Every structure is written in C-alpha cells, then in structure tokens.
Structure 1
Amino acid sequence: MVDGKNSTTTAPTATTKGNRKKTLTIALAIVIPIIVLLVIFIALWYCLLKRKTKKASGVDREIMSIESLLFDLNTIKAATDDFADSNKLGEGGFGPVYKGKLRDGQEIAVKRLSRTSGQGVEEFKNEIILVAKLQHRNLVRLLGCCFEGQERLLVYEFVLNTSLDKFLFDPTRRAQLDWDTRYKIISGVARGILYLHEDSRLRVIHRDIKASNVLLDNKMNPKISDFGVARMFDVDQTRANTNRIVGTYGYMSPEYAMQGQFSVKSDVFSFGVLLLEIVRGQKNSSFYLTDSSHDLLSYAWKLWTENRPLELVDSALGNMFPSNEVLKCIHIGLLCVQEDAADRPTMSSVAFMLNSYSSTLDHPAPPPLVGENRSKELHWSATRSQYSVNELDASEIEPR
C-alpha cells in the first residue's frame, strides 16, 4: 500500500504556463526590433563608408596624391643656393627656371612662378594636377611642388641639354643635331603626344607644342614639358571651344587662333610645324626675315609643289642624310599642317607613318598661311589672344 503523502507531486498550473509565454512574447517584441535596427544601422554605416572610400579614390585621393608631392621651401632654397643667378637655367612665360641639387645628390630643375608672369596660379595648379598623373619616357617627370608664402614652385627632373630651341635655332649648335638625332627627336615627340591623346588614362590636349617646350636629356631623347595651358578631355570628347586663347604664334592651328576651337588636331598642327622646323633648322615665325615666303610652311609648300622638297633641308646637315627618310618627314609635316583639321592625320597615324617604310601617304593640301592677307589675318588673331590664360577649376592645396 502506497503512502499518499509521499507520492504527491506538484504539477505546473495553467497560470504559470501563461506567464512564461507572456514574458517570452514581450522579450521577443523588444529584442527583434533592436536587432532589426542594429542590422539597418550596420548596413547604413557600411554604405556610407563605401561611399566615402569611393569619393576618396576620386577627387579627395587626387588632392592627397598632390599633397604627397609637396617640398619644403627651405629644401629647395638649399638645393638652388637660394635661387642664385649662377643656377638660373633660363626664363619662360611661367618665370625663371633654376638648377638645383638635393641632399641625396639628385639634380633638379625648379620652375619659379613670377609675380609678373603672364601665366597664373591656375596654370600652376593645372600643370601639377596633369603632370602628376602622366608618366611616359617622352614627358618630363614632375618630382614635386611647393606652396609657401608667395612662392609657387614646380620641381622637375633635371634634363641635361635644356630645350630643343637652344640647339635648333642656334647657328653654331644646330650642327650638333645630325639627322639621326633629329629623327629620334621627331619620333620621340610623336610618341609623347600620342600618349597624351590616346594612351594615358586621361585625354590631354597640350596646346603649346613647340621647340622650347621639348627638353633633351643627356642622350638627346626628347621630353615634352610645360603643361600649364593643357586641357583634359573626356574619353568621347573630340573638340572644345574657348574665348581665352593661349599658345604661341607660329605653332597655333588656324581654327584655334581664329575661332578658339581646339582638339587633338590642334596639337597635330603644332607637331607638323615643329617637324618642319627640325628639318629646316629654322623657326617658322621668323622665317619671313630670310625668304620671300611669309613663313616656313609656305616655303615648304612652295618647294613641294615645285618638286624641290629636299631644298628645305638644313644646310648644317650637308648631304649627310637619307633622302627617302627626310622626304617622308617633310610629307608628314605637310599633312599635319593642312588647313582643314579633318584632313590632318591623328597622332597614331603619324607614329605609324614614321615607323613604316612601305605605307603610301596621302597627298597634302595647302597649309593655311599661303597668301599674304591670310597670314596677316592669322597673325593679328594670334597676337591678340596669346597672352590670355585658360580657366580651370581646382581646389586650394596647402602644405601640411
């Protein structure tokens, strides 16, 4: 017989079960919204962080990359002996250029923005932003810059033989430029412009291709310099217009000098002028002083139509040049300086023609400066505008 007192157990009541269920429901009602809000917050934070990172990879990162190039003013002063006249290499529209040597022995060239410069701070920033992004063996390499007080300085690699014009237009020194050297310079400049137009991550129109903006290293390899007035294009952009024309008379295409319209074909025109100058050893804009023709382009065209093109060749070369190669260069030069921009070749075509000995070249049309009235008209338009400056939106950059 079982004892009733010892066998008695307490079973959960309906009230207890109800209280537990109610407590669990309340807890879930509180916790689930908190978890949902936390997930939403994390998602929003992640999206915001991703957006900031993306922005930093654009404009912010661009500015940061420029800031990383900043030089201390005292470093540059020490390198140039406080901008001593004995270290002055020359002077251009930007201002004077000085040779310097850093503490590690590296030689540099320092461009110092003059307060009276025709170019301004915007051109200065333009050159930094562009050149910092461009890397090619036929472009001068930017090492850094300096913004301190009133000083605006650009620090470049030092290029031993200064600029092409110092050789090409000097009656004595141009004899140092044999044909092989001249052809190397022509081909190198073509490659540099092709990189700007098609092969870099930007599409850049230089707008001031000329002999004084081509530097020569110790092996006479050319390096394009001075990007103060260069302009960036969108990938699918073909031309642009401006009311503020910059450049150098004698190298500017007619549509740019007279209408403010520029494109990759504007640089092609300038390259054509430079090519003919290298063949001739004489400057286009001063050619009228020595010949009845109004400029080098007119003279080259005259000889071409009279089947006497080799008379264009610099007398300093004597007969020491390959006729076929020189003829090809003259032909390419005349194709590049045709009046209608649409008729001019692209720089990729120019590079191909320079490297090919079997391609058939098109017949060139007359260059734009044939005829005295047209020459005077273009000269007036160019001189009226050549000292203006281009506009550029750029953020202020201050040294840290």
Structure 2
Amino acid sequence: MTKSMGAAEEIALRGLLGALNNTLPSPLSPEWERTLWAVPRHAFLPEQVWVGEDLTACTRTAAPENWLRTAYADDPVVTQINDGKDPGDGERWPSSSASAPSIVLRMLNMLDVEHGHQVLEIGTGTGWNAGLLAHRLGAQNVTTVEVDPVLALQAAQNLKNSGLEPRVIGGDGAAGHAAGAPYDRIIATCSVREVPRAWLEQTRPGGVILTPWETPWFCYGLLRLVVDSTGTASGRFSPHSAFMLMRNQRMDLRIFRDVVREEHVPDESLTQLSPWAVTGDGWAAQFAIGLQLRDVWRTWHDNPNVDGTASRLWLATTDATSWAAVDWDGQTEERFTVWEYGPRRLWSEVEAAYKWWRSVGGPGPECFGMTVRADGAHTPWLTSPSQPVPAMG
C-alpha cells in the first residue's frame, strides 16, 4: 500500500483496475498501473462531491463508504458546482469534475508521452491528471494551468500532499503558458470549440495537442493534432468523450430571453425529417452536423403550451439573428411543422447537413479530422485533408 492508502482504498483501487482492463481498448501498461497506485484518485477529491442527476452533495465525513465508492467508480465525479458559488435553492450545474478514469487513461495513452517530454495541461481541476503525468515524467516536466483560483490552490495542495509538485499556474488556459514553451505535448481536460492559437505557437514541430471537442450542436469527441514546422496542426477525431467547455468559450443564450421576440413573424413549412434523427441517439449524425453548422445550437421544449404541439425543437444561431422551431403534434411521425425566422433558414441547413452525411455513408467521428492553420482558421475534413467538410449556412 502507498502511505495515503488504507485497506478500503486498496480494495477499491483493485476493483477499478479490473474494470479499466475490461473497458480500455488494451490492458493498462505496467507503467500506468504503477502510476495509478502511486497517485491514488481519492487523494485528489475534495471532502464534498456531488452525485446523480440532481447533484446531491456527498461528503466523506457523513457518508465515507458512498464517497469512496464514488471515488473509485469508473465515472466522472462533480467536484464543483456553479463556479464555486452557493446556488441556494436555485439551479445546480456542474462547473468542474474529475474525469472518469477510463477516459483519463485513454487520453494519456493517446498523448503517447516519452521520457524527457515537456507537457502542458490545460484545466488542472483536482490535480489528479497532472499528478499522473508528473509521476510518469517527473514534476519538472509538467506544467498545468487552471482558470479558477480556488481550484488551482487546492490542486497545488493536493499535489504537494502526494509528494508531487509540477508547476501549477493560475490563469486562462487558452493562453497556454509561454514561459515554459515549447512543449512536446499539450493536453486539455476541457472541451473547446476552437483550438487556441497559443497552443499551436507553444508546441514544438512534431508535438501533439490532444483536446476534447465540442460544437454548439453537440459536445462529443477527442481531437488529436500534430503540429508541423509551419505552425499548422492536423489530425483525426476519435469518439466517446464529453467534457465541460473551456470557460472563456462558454455561451449563455436562452431562446425566450435572447432570441425569439413577439414581433418576429416566421415562415411556415413542413418536413419529413424527424427532429430526433438529428438530436437523439444518432451521435454520428449529430457530430457531422456540428462540423457543418459551427454556429448553430439547439434545445428541446417539451409540452410548450401550444395547441397541437407536444414537443418543440428550437434552433438558433450563436449571434441570435436566426432561429427555427420544429413541432411534433404527438401523433404522426411522418411530417413535422417547421417555423423559420431570420436571414438564414436553419432547419433547411440542418436538412442539407444531414443529407450530406447520409450521402457519404453515415461516417462516425473517427472518419473525420481537422486542420488548424497558424492564423487560427479551422477546416474539418472527411477521411483526408483533401476532402473538406462542406460548410452549411
């Protein structure tokens, strides 16, 4: 046992290791398994975490068995809500979490670190991921940036308590950390809608940037880029991940507060494309639509108190100038009423994006890639950079 582990923690970690070896594409390497023993996850979680869809508080003192079970489940653990502010009786929403161990290890394998690599992590959180890297590579080779000053201080303390002291920088992760550049690897533990130019500038040629990806339409996928000698980066997506969005890329828009106005007079039409085909369990379709419509977001409104409408799908542009609504009457699955307003016809764009995706065989995220130029331009592609994804709108 390590000095920070008792019998209960050791049993819990053994159970997690067994689950990981069944979940990951390949068994854990001996190096990463030793690292997990040396840097136990529970040592980085706060006294209070939040569990379940309703984000119920769970404290180590009041419910030690539940807390430890949560610490070693292969699930994300919410470690902060509402940016650290007390929500009172208001809505609770997660603002920081410890990622599921399986995605942590999958990303570390994709990062492909080697002895001597300099690594920059964006999004310190609890400090556990930085601790794993520091143990594997040496603390002197790891820098981690955290935008939330309270989280940064706590992570630094967690790392110190574990005998690991990589550089913990408080600041905006989008700016990277130029003082430590160039880096061989940059890894983000938050999703981005655009890869910051600073990351490209601070990665040495041949270096890797690994980041979760998100569009306003859909949060899904990992993007692994390799930077070339001109400062351009290119690489493929892989599926099965969803992370909180980088704070400086957040979007705070609401349909009735920011988009739809009483004086708007939309155009009416009918569609045979089910709104669930582009928002339901078809993750591959949603991913492809997001790549084509980079500025369109959506939200569902059930029981909207509109005669003859059981559910309504809202769509809007991020600049709030165009919107659409697709109504289901609760009966037929063959036609849906469409309302569109503004200079763009958003549902028509979604239909075109979905049709294109179907026409190329319905590929999954692993078939797509992205090229990011030094000037910040992003070009998604299918199969190879010579086949750019069409932009709708």
Q: Does the alignment reach a TM-score above 0.5? A: no
- Tell me which protein shows more helix as a share of its residues: 1
Normalising by structure 1, we get a TM-score of: 0.29
Q: Which has the higher contact order (CA 8 A, sep 6+)?
A: 1
Query: Going by fraction, where is strand more abundant, 1 or 2?
Result: 2
Structure showing greater Rg: 1
